Structure formats: C-alpha cells, structure tokens
C-alpha cells in the first residue's frame, strides 16, 4: 500500500511538472527548459549525497542509473517537444502507454499480482489508452499534430525504459540513482541547449529561470517518489500507478488552457482511476 501511495504521488508531481514544463517549452527551446530543470535537481542531489557522505553502490547499479538518465532525457526531450507543438490532452496519455514495458519486465522478473490487482493493472492501462483518443479536428496544423503523436510514442518508450533501469539503480541506493541519472544526462542536454541558444533561441532570465528551477525540483520529487516506491513494491504495479500523470496534465490543460476533454477521454480517466483503486486494494 505504501508503494502505491508513493507511486501515485509521483504521478501527481509528474503531471504538474509536465504541464508547467510543456507551457515553458512554448516560450523557450525544449533543451533550454530541460537543462535548467536538470541543473537545479542535480545541484540539490549533489549537495544531499555530499552531506550524507555515503559512497556509490555497486557497478551494476551505477550503470543502470547512468542508463536511466540517458533514456530518461531522451524521452523527456521528445515529450516536451510534443507538448509544445501538440495538444497536451492527446500527447500526455499516449506517452504514458510506455508503462507496458516495465509491466512486462516485472511479470517476467517474478511479479505475481493477484486477481484483483491484475484487473486493476489492465483497467489502468486501458484507461490511459482511452484517455488518448480525442478527435483532433480543427487542429491548426495537422502535420504538427501527427508529429506530436510520433514524439509521444518515442517518449513513452523512453519513460518505460527509465522505469525499468531506475528500479534497478534504486535497489542500490535511491539518492545515488537520482544523482547518477542526472550526471549522465545533464552534459548532453546542456550542450544541446547551448547550440539552441546560439541559433537564436530565447534565453530565460529572472523569474523564468526561477520557474524552470522550481519545475526541476518538482520533477526531482516525482522521481524520488517513483524510485523509492520501486524498491518497496512490485515494479509492474508501481509503474502503472506512476504512469497516471496524464490525468493531472489533462485536467490542468482542460481547466487552465481550455483544451477539450471529450467523452471518451473522460471515460478513460475514470477507468484509469478505478484501476488504481483495485491496484491499491487488491492482493
């Protein structure tokens, strides 16, 4: 039960960070947004592990954490670009279908959810798929809309891979897993951000910089919740509960941006939430 609670907390925080980060990506280049987010979270985690004065875990955990950072930044880059050019309430649910990967890995690795929890897993996955089905007629640019969907699929694969590798790394140490995933990703995204600025991208300043740093810390908290949950619960259940962030993103986009949440999407959100109830309650 505690693992599911932490996983749901990660969903809520990821959904908020994705909404805010997606908005900022409409003003600033995506690599710049991500670089500022990663810089703030990396700084906080370096201070934490230095103060704690505990060495890194074994090499296998280190490699998994470094790999998690690489697939994570690839997925997040595709995701934020999709959010910037597409409809948030379409992009976010599609990206979350990447949860199928950790579910499969968890089941292969020995996860054996009972009948009620299995039903909850199935309903949650069906729910996020239904939540992605929205009529995009009237989109300003149909080509961009299609591109955003392709990017969302790429993002889903990146997120699913992150879930798997982060779980392995976190079994060694959660804090080090978070540090190492950012150590591997930050130099790459920082270099791409510098290139984007040299090509004329708008640099953030003042409150915009502070906002990006704050979004980075929200994302860091979400990652900590997931990484911790993965060490105390089954990967298949934790990954599904953590993949419900589209519910938050879709609702925020509907309330604050006026994006339409149609009947099928509402059904999908309801089915996904009911699935979570079964995951949390069932053996």
**140 φψ region: left (φ > 0), alpha (ψ -120 to 50), beta (else):** alpha
- Which two structure tokens, joined as six digits, stand for 163? 């879930």
Q: What is the mean pLDDT of the chain?
A: 82
Q: CA 79, CA 17: separation in Å to the nearest integer?
A: 12
Between 117 and 13, residue with greater pLDDT: 13
Residue 206: the pLDDT is 87
Residue 281: the pLDDT is 55
Q: Using 50, 70 and 90 to split pLDDT, how confident is the model at 127?
A: confident
Is the pLDDT at 134 greater than 60? The verdict is: no
- Summarize pLDDT for 68-119 with one digit per residue, the tens: 999 988 988 888 888 778 777 677 777 777 777 777 777 777 766 677 767 7
Closest listed residue to residue 240, CA positions, set 95, 93, 100, 71 = 100
Q: Which positions ≥6 away from 112 have C-beta within 8 Å?
A: none
Q: CA 100, CA 233: separation in Å to the nearest integer?
A: 17
- Which two structure tokens, joined as six digits, stand for 183? 């150590």
Is the pLDDT at 282 greater than 70? The verdict is: no
Q: Using 50, 70 and 90 to split pLDDT, how confident is the model at 142?
A: low
Residue 18: the pLDDT is 84
Residue 156: the pLDDT is 85
Is the pLDDT at 167 greater than 70? The verdict is: yes
Q: Report, as an integer, the average pLDDT of 202-220.
A: 91
Residue 234: the pLDDT is 80
- Asked if residue 116 lies in contact with residue 278, where contact means CB atoms within 8 angstroms, the answer is yes
Count of alpha carbons within 13 Å of 155, Cβ hemisphere only?
23
- Residue 59, classified by CB atoms within 10 Å of its CB into exposed (0-12), middle (13-18) or buried (19+), is exposed
Residue 54: the pLDDT is 86
Residue 139: the pLDDT is 47
Q: Of the ranges 148-152, 227-231, 258-262, which one carries the lowest mean pLDDT score?
A: 258-262
Question: Maximum CA pair distance of the chain?
Answer: 56
Q: CA 175, CA 57: separation in Å to the nearest integer?
A: 10
Q: Which residue in the block uniquely carries the two structure tokens 């900590």? A: 224
Q: CA 180, CA 220: separation in Å to the nearest integer?
A: 13
Q: Using 50, 70 and 90 to split pLDDT, how confident is the model at 129?
A: low
Q: CA 257, CA 137: separation in Å to the nearest integer?
A: 18
User: Which range scores top for mean pLDDT: 2-6, 122-126, 278-282?
Assistant: 2-6
**70 φψ region: left (φ > 0), alpha (ψ -120 to 50), beta (else):** alpha
Between 188 and 111, residue with greater pLDDT: 188
């Amino acid at each position: 039960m505690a693992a599911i609670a932490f996983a749901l907390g990660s969903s809520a925080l990821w959904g908020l960070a994705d909404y805010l980060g997606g908005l900022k990506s409409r003003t600033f280049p995506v690599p710049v947004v991500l670089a500022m987010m990663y810089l703030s979270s990396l700084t906080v985690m370096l201070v934490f592990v230095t103060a704690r004065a505990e060495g890194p875990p074994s090499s296998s955990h280190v490699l998994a954490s470094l790999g998690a950072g690489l697939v994570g930044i690839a997925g997040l880059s595709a995701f934020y670009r999709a959010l910037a050019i597409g409809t948030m309430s379409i992009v976010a649910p599609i990206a979350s279908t990447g949860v199928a990967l950790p579910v499969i890995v968890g089941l292969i690795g020995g996860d054996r959810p009972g009948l009620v929890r299995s039903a909850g897993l199935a309903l949650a996955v069906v729910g996020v798929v239904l939540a992605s089905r929205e009529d995009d007629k009237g989109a300003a640019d149909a080509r961009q809309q299609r591109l955003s969907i392709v990017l969302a699929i790429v993002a889903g694969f990146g997120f699913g891979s992150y879930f798997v590798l982060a779980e392995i790394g976190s079994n060694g140490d959660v804090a080090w897993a978070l540090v190492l995933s950012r150590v591997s990703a930050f130099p790459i995204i920082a270099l791409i951000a510098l290139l984007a600025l040299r090509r004329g991208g708008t640099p953030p300043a003042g409150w915009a910089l502070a906002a990006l740093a704050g979004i980075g810390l929200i994302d860091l908290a979400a990652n900590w919740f997931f990484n911790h949950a993965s060490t105390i619960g089954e990967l298949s259940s934790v990954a599904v509960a953590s993949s419900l962030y589209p519910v938050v993103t879709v609702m925020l986009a509907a309330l604050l941006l006026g994006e339409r949440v149609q009947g099928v999407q509402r059904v999908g959100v309801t089915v996904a939430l009911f699935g979570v109830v079964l995951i949390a309650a069932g053996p």
